[in-house]
Structure 1
Amino acid sequence: MSLGQQLAPHLPFLRRYSRALTGSQEQGDLYVRATLEAIVAAPTEFPRDIDPRLGLYRMFQGIWNSANYDVADEPSAGGAEGQEAVAQARLARMTPLSRQALLLTAMEGFTPEDAAFLIEVDTSEVERLVAEALAEIEKQTRARVLIIEDEPIIAMDIETIVRDLGHDVTGVAVTRDEALALALEDRPGLVLADIQLADDSSGIDAVKDILAEFEVPVIFITAFPERLLTGERPEPTFLITKPFQRSTVKAAISQALFFDESTVPAEA
């Protein structure tokens, strides 16, 4: 089996991780493309003595950490002041190492040992970084969350997780039309949306309806993530795979809010 065939099944999930790190489908997919270009340019540098998925993420982390890689939509500027502004812009949007450790373990399912290998720290440091990220989440801004989910048990589970994290739930919609009505009635600061809804309508269409009215961060929930992580069309920036773990939902919500500036500060 060729290296490309070995890596292909893991690319959708690398896109998920990269999008979560950057808070953007466009920027996230650019980092993935840069990773693939680096592998094609120097295939002998790909680590062959480890699992292909681990090697792929390790190559990605090298691109992510490289100060020489500029995403395509980076603001252009000349002179020393312009270069400093570019550097500050990059640092401002950089996901901290603690959040990288949390996303790698909670969302991508790597063991602490594998996460340590990927971000080049000791395993004990990964555990400390994850604890640091979780502590940051406790201090994070509070959001008003709209849940779009037609399975009652799953909706209740999500609602419980959301409330336990200190967020408010504005409502639970089971159809496209109901989702838009609830969003307009009580504007949310975050939307959690299933893909397939009760009346055979689409959660994607429901979200499009909402985004046509106002901007809001969205996390999609699906049993078939690879269908929404192709990199070939407008796709979700944040995505949770069914069946999900509580820690995965927590990590996704915190990272979506990490890039959003419209949420209400948590009470002291």
Structure 2
Amino acid sequence: MSEITSPGDLGTSLAAELPFLRRYARALTGQQESGDRYALATLETIVAGPASVGACSSTKLGLFSVFHKIWSTSGALIEGVSDTDQLLEARAQWRLADLPHNTREALLLRSIEGFDFSAIAEIMDISHNEAEELFERARHQMGEAVLGNILIIEDEGIIAMDLKSIVTDMGHTVTDVARTKDEAIAKGRANVPDLILSDIQLADKSSGIDAVNALLEELGDRPVIFITAYPERLLTGERPEPAFLITKPYSEEQVTAAVSQAMFFATTEEMAELV
């Protein structure tokens, strides 16, 4: 049972955990707007019935558990989510038709949010063994679904090499590695990537966010994954935010899950444009 004893305590605890729910929701849906709609629906449900959180072993698990119930029972369609978002989700579910229900959720809860299998089992109301099995199946099958070209924007040589090794082992091709904003723009123009994997703070004190925005303006929309030691600074809800965000220090599992998910939704969006 949660140790929250008052509405004030609950509100404070929820506020501390909300940025991470929003990160998970956007990674799950592939869209900031639709992810935030689900997060808002979760908060509204908790406000209406605080006991739904208190029944769990921690506020964070309660928050994610309520979200999961809404996500599972809504058929991934709630008020305020656009027709485009609905179509993308439908395409995503079609591509994952051979995977058991909840595999993608288990993958992201484990790899991106760092929950252990006992916590995932509590969130999803399944057994520990089921949570582990769902994760393993998604990790192997989803990683093979889509391959592409990736530009890495990272000023630390060791980290850049590590990221390159991880995505190359997944089967992707690294088009180039850039250390500064200007270098990233030049290399992105010369060899257009399918996905951009970028640090926030670059070698010459330039911004990875500025580099990515400049590339997207010139090359058009494409999936982006940001890496930062302070994810809560980008998860305020005050401005457009990345759908895919990895926290430093990262694990190989986090990188592979985020890359697979980002590439996955990129291909479903391309399919939607053809309809």
TM-score, scaled relative to structure 2: 0.86
- 1:260 correspondence with 2:266: yes
Q: CA deviation at 1:66?
A: 2.3
Structure 1 residues 57 and 49, CA, compared in 2 at 3 Å: closer, same or farther? Answer: closer
- 1:222 correspondence with 2:228: yes
Structure 1 residues 89 and 191, CA, compared in 2 at 3 Å: closer, same or farther? Answer: closer
Corresponding residue number in structure 1 for 2:81: 73
After superposition, what is the alpha-carbon deviation per residue over 1:171-208, rounded to whole angstroms, capped at 9, x for unaligned? 01111111111111000001000000111110000010
Corresponding residue number in structure 2 for 1:19: 26
Q: Which moved more, 1:230-239 or 1:135-144?
A: 135-144
Structure 1 residues 130 and 197, CA, compared in 2 at 3 Å: closer, same or farther? Answer: same
Corresponding residue number in structure 2 for 1:81: none
CA contact (8 A) 1:31 1:71 kept: no
Q: Number of matched residues?
A: 254
Percent identical pairs in the alignment equals 49
- 1:97 correspondence with 2:96: no
| Residue of 137, 155, 161 corresponding to 1:156 | 161
Structure 1 residues 163 and 90, CA, compared in 2 at 3 Å: closer, same or farther? Answer: closer
- 1:56 correspondence with 2:55: no
- Match of 1:73, SS state, is coil
- Match of 1:233, SS state, is coil
| Residue of 241, 249, 260 corresponding to 2:247 | 241
- Match of 2:260, SS state, is helix
Corresponding residue number in structure 2 for 1:82: none
Specify every segment of 5 or more residues in structure 1 that has no aligned partner in the other structure, as ranges.
77-85, 264-268
Structure 1 residues 90 and 206, CA, compared in 2 at 3 Å: closer, same or farther? Answer: closer
- Match of 2:150, SS state, is strand
- 1:168 correspondence with 2:173: yes
- Match of 1:244, SS state, is coil
Corresponding residue number in structure 1 for 2:4: none
After superposition, what is the alpha-carbon deviation per residue over 1:76-122, rounded to whole angstroms, capped at 9, x for unaligned? 9xxxxxxxxx7x87543458511111111111111111111211222
Structure 1 residues 49 and 63, CA, compared in 2 at 3 Å: closer, same or farther? Answer: closer
Distance 2:81 2:257 in 1: 26
Structure 1 residues 49 and 118, CA, compared in 2 at 3 Å: closer, same or farther? Answer: closer
After superposition, what is the alpha-carbon deviation per residue over 1:223-246, rounded to whole angstroms, capped at 9, x for unaligned? 000011112210100000000001
Q: CA deviation at 1:71?
A: 4.0
Specify every segment of 5 or more residues in structure 2 that has no aligned partner in the other structure, as ranges.
1-7, 270-275
